[in-house]
């Protein structure tokens, strides 16, 4: 049978969409939560209670950097890099990061900025916070392999968007059409309307999402023109100083505090971060990063430099200084940065972040409606698409739908509970939180496989609704802080997280009521028309 | 223009524009106002609708500039369209009133 173009696009949209929809839902949901990674981290690390952190004087900063350097020299005299985060209004502790070789794991410790002693586990609520959602979003916590999987799914998303437009016969006539309470028709309307009304956003976010990792996905240019030396390529792209390859001559890093103070004088801004590349080697360099000024950046699409000063770490000689608020690099870099800024919504502050959050949630809902529509269609009118295996395949799709949609939602809100319930002195606490997040997600899969689809949906939705609605109460019981206190002191980040959770809780209750009513209506129908159902299943 | 005020103002400008455009369609005209729109009314609604969307874009440029403004415009357009799409089946009679009540409710916190 010869197919029309629209029929083949419909096939592509259905099957290409189905096999990627679960992973795309995860990417959309966690990415959308990631829009608010800072407020989520603020909530998880109980920053609202801490109050104002007094600003540090230049001497205090110099002392903190010296203490951090002493610590790093003891821990990793030779390393790929050291990074020192100075205390700021969000984080009163001194943070040190390092990696010994490119292959070894990333290390992080928090120190007391006055004494340099390592803060004891349990003295703060150690957590990845909202960053967990961001990592889940772009690499599924699976490193480079995850980036490639997300890339493949993103391509599938672009294909599904284009084929979806072709398949949608009445894109203009049905532009504003949603017909609730009509079963399959309503799911299709919902799927269509959610996609069509956010189409500009969906294209933008999907395309820029691919572009962010272009150097990973399309390495051929750098491999051919720069012999695969990414550092050399990026220093040319950004008009920066040439890369400094390792020389394999041992040399100690000069004291960082005087370099930091010289750097601050050169860029006329306080230091946020001090990064040392190749400490222990003659090629070592020190980069002073000026403190990021979010307020000044919110009016611009393309962010400007916060100011950096680069020194030879051994001789202390100045290599490069970039003043704050300056822009470097040519048009190519500007285009690239605009794409990144559009994806990360680095501009426009809260109003724009909320619009991204809304559009992202609409995208996630669109994917969920599509996946559910696939099964609603087949529950009513079971086909024979996979021969004798059809029933089995449908069952797998049902189970995956519940676990990938309902289950992930449950795991995301459970992550907030894990953060509050896991004891503070657990070793590697931040990692444990993420492991427990995955454990909850896995449990929802087992639950979905064990229960009938209707029961599984209802129970997981009910659990999510409960966890959302009781979140402020949990916070009150576990930390003594909560929504009302946060509102009273004008802490919009803490209050925002809990109010958003409440809103989602109400949404889940509404969805649950809808499911119950439909189930009751279906039962009533079955009782009055036993013959009709018998014929339907028989035929 | 103050950004939060712009958010409300542009949202309701987009909402009114989209409402006017939806009323040029028989289905939605029947839902909201009963009957089919006449040709002259259809043209007037179309003109009003697109003008309001254009006005919304211009307001966005005043609040955010021409780099960020269009991004905000697309976002608010989607948000307003969701409002309209869910009001049409559940509260069609209320849909036109929102375009009047909405801006009035938004004004007091900023000006009184």
pLDDT at A480: 85
pLDDT at A462: 96
- φ and ψ of A76, to 5 deg: -150, 75
Structure tokens at A456: 């599984």
pLDDT at A53: 67
> Does the pLDDT at position A327 exceed 90?
no
Which alpha helices (DSSP H) does A345-479 contain, by range?
A: 349-380, 390-401, 408-421, 429-450, 453-469, 471-479
> Does the pLDDT at position A359 exceed 80?
yes
Q: A203 in contact with B at a CB cutoff of 8 Å?
A: no
Note the pLDDT tens digit of each residue in A203-226: 999 999 999 998 889 989 889 998
> Between chains, do B79 and A355 touch, taking CB under 8 Å as contact?
yes
Q: Determine the residue of chain A that is closest to B61 in CA distance.
A: A299
Question: How much of chain B, in percent, has pLDDT values that exceed 90?
Answer: 62
Residue A243 region, left (φ>0) first, then alpha (ψ -120 to 50), else beta?
beta
> Between chains, do B68 and A173 touch, taking CB under 8 Å as contact?
no
> Does the pLDDT at position A367 exceed 50?
yes
Could you give the CA distance from residue A34 to residue A42 in angstroms, rounded to a whole number?
13
pLDDT at A51: 63
Q: How confident is the model at residue A535 (pLDDT cuts 50, 70, 90)?
A: very low
Average pLDDT over residues A498-508: 96
State the pairing for strand pair A81-85/A285-290.
Answer: unpaired
Structure tokens at A139: 């690499």
SS3 A320: strand
- Residues in chain B within 8 Å Cβ distance of A201: 74-75, 78
> Between chains, do B68 and A299 touch, taking CB under 8 Å as contact?
yes
- Residues in chain A within 8 Å Cβ distance of B73: none
Q: Which of residues 64-103 of B touch A (CB under 8 A)?
A: 64-65, 67-68, 71-72, 74-76, 78-79, 81-82, 84-86, 88-90
- Residues in chain A within 8 Å Cβ distance of B78: 197-198, 200-201, 355, 358-359, 362
B76 contacts B64 by C-beta, under 8 angstroms: no
- A274 forms beta bridges with A84, A288
pLDDT at A207: 96
Average pLDDT over residues A377-384: 77
Note the pLDDT tens digit of each residue in A459-485: 999 999 999 999 999 999 998 888 888
Could you give the CA distance from residue A86 to residue A65 in angstroms, rounded to a whole number?
8
- Residues in chain B within 8 Å Cβ distance of A177: 27, 85, 88
> Does the pLDDT at position B11 exceed 80?
yes
What kind and span of H or E run contains A110? strand A107-111
Residues 6+ apart with CB under 8 A from A348: A298, B3, B64, B68, B71, B72
Q: A192 in contact with B at a CB cutoff of 8 Å?
A: no
Could you give the CA distance from residue B51 to residue B71 in angstroms, rounded to a whole number?
19
A41 contacts A91 by C-beta, under 8 angstroms: no
> Does the pLDDT at position A325 exceed 70?
yes
pLDDT at A536: 40
Mean model confidence pLDDT for chain A: 88
> Between chains, do B89 and A356 touch, taking CB under 8 Å as contact?
no
- Residues in chain A within 8 Å Cβ distance of B59: none
Question: How much of chain A, in percent, has pLDDT values that exceed 90?
Answer: 48
pLDDT at A244: 84
> Between chains, do B89 and A179 touch, taking CB under 8 Å as contact?
yes
Name which of B22, B68, B78 is nearest A201 (Cβ-Cβ): B78
- Which of A182, A342, A355 should we substitute to test contact with B (largest number of B Cβ atoms within 10 Å)? A355
| Shortest Cα distance, chain A CAs vs residue B111, angstroms | 19
| Shortest Cα distance, chain B CAs vs residue A298, angstroms | 10
Q: B50 in contact with A at a CB cutoff of 8 Å?
A: no
Strands (E), B2-85: none
- Which of A32, A197, A356, A364 should we substitute to test contact with B (largest number of B Cβ atoms within 10 Å)? A197
Number of Cβ pairs closer than 8 Å across A and B?
75
Note the pLDDT tens digit of each residue in A111-162: 888 888 887 766 778 888 899 999 999 999 888 899 999 999 999 999 999 9
Name which of B68, B76, B85 is nearest A347 (Cβ-Cβ): B68
Q: How confident is the model at residue A534 (pLDDT cuts 50, 70, 90)?
A: very low
Intra-chain end-to-end CA distance of chain B, in Å:
17
> Does the pLDDT at position A334 exceed 90?
no
> Does the pLDDT at position A110 exceed 80?
yes
Q: Which of residues 18-47 of B touch A (CB under 8 A)?
A: 18, 22, 25, 27-28
Which residue ranges make up each domain of chain B? 3-111
Note the pLDDT tens digit of each residue in A37-75: 999 998 998 887 766 667 788 888 899 999 999 999 998
Q: A144 in contact with B at a CB cutoff of 8 Å?
A: no
CA-only gyration radius of chain A, Å: 27
> Between chains, do A178 and B85 touch, taking CB under 8 Å as contact?
yes
> Between chains, do A362 and B82 touch, taking CB under 8 Å as contact?
yes
Name which of B3, B78, B90 is nearest A198 (Cβ-Cβ): B78
Could you give the CA distance from residue A252 to residue B85 in angstroms, rounded to a whole number?
66
pLDDT at A410: 97
Q: A365 in contact with B at a CB cutoff of 8 Å?
A: no
ipTM: 0.93
Q: Which residue has the tokens 């919110």?
A: A298
> Between chains, do B85 and A352 touch, taking CB under 8 Å as contact?
no
Q: A295 in contact with B at a CB cutoff of 8 Å?
A: no
| Residue-wise burial string across A76-113, b where 16 or more C-beta atoms lie within 10 A, e elsewhere | beebbbbbbbbbeeebbbbbbbbbbeeeeeeeebbbbb
- Residues in chain B within 8 Å Cβ distance of A193: 85
Residues 6+ apart with CB under 8 A from A430: A126, A127, A128
Q: B8 in contact with A at a CB cutoff of 8 Å?
A: no
Note the pLDDT tens digit of each residue in A78-101: 899 999 999 887 778 889 999 988
Average pLDDT over residues A373-382: 83
Q: A222 in contact with B at a CB cutoff of 8 Å?
A: no
> Between chains, do A176 and B4 touch, taking CB under 8 Å as contact?
no
Q: Which residue has the tokens 């459970």?
A: A414
| Shortest Cα distance, chain A CAs vs residue B40, angstroms | 20
Top pLDDT among A165 and A123 is at: A165
Top pLDDT among A456 and A325 is at: A456
- Residues in chain B within 8 Å Cβ distance of A349: 3
Q: Determine the residue of chain A that is closest to B64 in CA distance.
A: A299
- Which of A302, A327, A341, A348 should we substitute to test contact with B (largest number of B Cβ atoms within 10 Å)? A348
Q: How confident is the model at residue A421 (pLDDT cuts 50, 70, 90)?
A: very high
Average pLDDT over residues A97-109: 86
- Residues in chain B within 8 Å Cβ distance of A176: 18, 22, 25, 28, 81, 84-85, 88
> Does the pLDDT at position A525 exceed 80?
no
Q: B106 in contact with A at a CB cutoff of 8 Å?
A: no
Q: A348 in contact with B at a CB cutoff of 8 Å?
A: yes
Could you give the CA distance from residue A401 to residue A25 in angstroms, rounded to a whole number?
10
SS3 A43: helix
Q: A510 in contact with B at a CB cutoff of 8 Å?
A: no
Least trusted range by pLDDT, from A342-356, A499-513, B45-59, B65-79: A342-356
Task: With CA atoms as reference, report the closest residue to A18 among A143, A183, A163, A133.
Answer: A163
């Amino acid at each position: 049978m010869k197919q029309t173009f629209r029929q083949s696009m419909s096939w592509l949209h259905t099957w290409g969409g189905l096999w990627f929809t679960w992973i795309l839902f995860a990417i959309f949901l966690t990415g959308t939560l990631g829009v608010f990674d800072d407020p989520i981290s603020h909530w998880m690390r109980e920053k609202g209670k801490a109050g104002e952190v007094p600003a540090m004087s230049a001497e205090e900063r110099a002392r903190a950097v010296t203490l951090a350097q002493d610590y790093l020299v003891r821990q990793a005299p030779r390393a790929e890099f050291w990074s020192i985060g100075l205390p700021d209004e969000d984080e009163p502790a001194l943070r040190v990061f390092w990696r010994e070789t490119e292959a070894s794991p990333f290390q992080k410790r928090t120190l007391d900025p006055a004494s340099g002693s390592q803060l004891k586990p349990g003295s703060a609520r150690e957590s990845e916070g909202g960053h967990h959602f961001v990592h889940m979003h772009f690499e599924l916590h699976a490193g480079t392999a995850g980036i490639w999987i997300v890339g493949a799914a993103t391509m599938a998303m672009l294909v599904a968007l284009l084929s979806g437009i072709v398949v949608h016969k009445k894109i203009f006539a049905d532009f504003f059409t949603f017909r609730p309470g009509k079963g399959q028709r309503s799911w299709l309307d919902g799927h269509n309307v959610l996609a069509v009304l956010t189409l500009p956003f969906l294209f933008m976010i999907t395309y820029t999402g691919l572009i962010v990792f272009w150097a990973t996905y399309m390495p051929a240019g750098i491999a051919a023109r720069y012999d695969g030396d990414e550092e050399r390529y990026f220093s040319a792209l950004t008009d920066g100083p040439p890369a400094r390859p390792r020389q394999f001559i041992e040399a100690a890093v000069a004291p960082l505090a005087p370099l930091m103070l010289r750097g601050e004088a050169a860029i006329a801004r306080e230091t946020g971060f001090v990064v040392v590349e190749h400490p222990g080697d003659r090629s070592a360099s020190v980069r002073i990063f000026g403190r990021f000024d979010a307020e000044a950046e919110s009016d611009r699409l393309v962010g400007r430099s916060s100011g950096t000063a680069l020194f030879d770490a051994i001789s202390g000689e100045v290599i490069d200084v970039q003043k704050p608020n300056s822009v470097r690099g040519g048009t190519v870099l500007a285009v690239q940065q605009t794409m990144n800024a559009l994806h990360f919504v680095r501009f426009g502050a809260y109003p724009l972040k909320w619009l991204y959050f809304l559009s992202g949630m609409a995208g996630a809902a669109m994917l969920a409606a599509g996946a559910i529509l696939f099964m609603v269609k087949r529950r009513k009118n079971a086909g024979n698409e996979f021969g004798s295996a059809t029933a089995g395949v449908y069952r797998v799709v049902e189970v995956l739908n519940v676990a990938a949609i309902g289950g992930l939602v449950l795991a995301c809100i459970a992550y907030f509970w894990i953060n509050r319930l896991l004891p503070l002195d657990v070793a590697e606490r931040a990692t444990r939180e993420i492991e427990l997040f995955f454990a909850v997600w896995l449990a929802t899969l087992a639950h979905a496989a064990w229960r009938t689809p209707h029961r599984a949906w209802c129970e997981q939705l009910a659990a999510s609704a409960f966890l959302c609605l009781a979140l402020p109460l949990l916070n009150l019981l576990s930390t003594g802080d909560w929504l009302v206190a946060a509102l009273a002191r004008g802490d919009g980040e803490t209050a925002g997280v809990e109010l958003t959770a409440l809103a989602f809780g109400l949404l889940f209750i509404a969805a649950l009521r809808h499911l119950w009513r439909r189930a009751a209506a279906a039962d009533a129908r079955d009782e009055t028309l036993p013959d009709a159902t018998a014929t339907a299943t028989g035929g | 223009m103050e950004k939060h005020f712009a958010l409300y103002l542009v949202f309701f400008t987009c909402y009114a524009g989209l409402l006017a455009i939806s009323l040029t369609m028989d289905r939605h005209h029947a839902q909201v106002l009963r009957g089919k729109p006449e040709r002259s009314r259809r043209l007037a609604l179309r003109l009003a609708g697109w003008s309001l969307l254009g006005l919304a874009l211009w307001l966005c440029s005043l609040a955010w500039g021409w780099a960020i403004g269009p991004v905000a415009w697309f976002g608010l357009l989607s948000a307003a369209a969701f409002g309209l799409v869910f009001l049409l089946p559940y509260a069609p009679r209320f849909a036109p009133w929102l375009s009047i009540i909405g801006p009035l409710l938004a004004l007091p916190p900023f000006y009184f």
